[in-house]
Amino acid sequence: MSGPVAGPVDPLADRVDPRPVVASRRLFTGRVWDVVEESFDLGEAGRLTREIVVHPGAVAVLALDADDRVLLIQQYRHPVGAFEWELPAGLLDVAGEPPHLTAARELAEETDHAARSWRTLLDYVSSPGGSTEALRIFLARELTLVPEAERHVRTGEELGMPLRWAPLEELRAAVLADAVHNPSLVIGVLAALAARDRGWADLRPADAPWPSNPRLAG
């Protein structure tokens, strides 16, 4: 049994407080992300050096219809050799495009759907020990189909990409049965179930600040 806590208890929240970088050099420039080596000052703990994947960040969309079904895509992911069921998603790789507009564009391009209602469901960082990748999952509701003449022509890895509607309860069972593994899908489904239990009352606006994204925090 834990003992009493002395003094005030801080809120349970991450503290965004970057330590001073004393040296930095680029090791690799890639198609999507780069790798840099940085030395930073931890004060009493001294200086540490780490290799970091510098990632542009990404968004994902949990599109939910009136029957609480989620719109999924299935995409081949070569690093893990699997056709994963995922939420529509995309990189923040268009300069100056706000994240919620990136999300709307990706939803239309990958699924031929638009949404009238947008809220921020959740923010997370994928691998904080080695990457700057920050992701925001949006909740999109009041869905409509994009007119056929305005639909995006999918090519490459998106060509012939299957779509599927799945109830939130079926997805929860798939997550707990270790049947689906995409992190945005897993995190988004569990967050949506929790938010639904609270009547969706705690969700932030689609353009809410994003302090955990290093590229947007400033």
C-alpha span between 39 and 49 (Å, rounded): 4
Strand-strand pairing, 134-145 and 113-125: antiparallel
Q: Is 159 exposed, middle or buried (0-12, 13-18, 19+ CB in 10 A)?
A: exposed
Q: CA 156, 157, 158, 161: dihedral to nearest 10 degrees? A: 130
Which two structure tokens, joined as six digits, stand for 169?
């309860």
Strand-strand pairing, 58-63 and 134-145: parallel
Q: What angle do CA 89, 106, 16 make, to 5 degrees?
A: 50
Paired residues of 49 in beta bridges? 39
Strands of 34-41's sheet in order across? 21-29, 34-41, 47-54
Q: What are residue 39's phi and psi, to 5 degrees?
A: -110, 130
Catalytic residues: 158
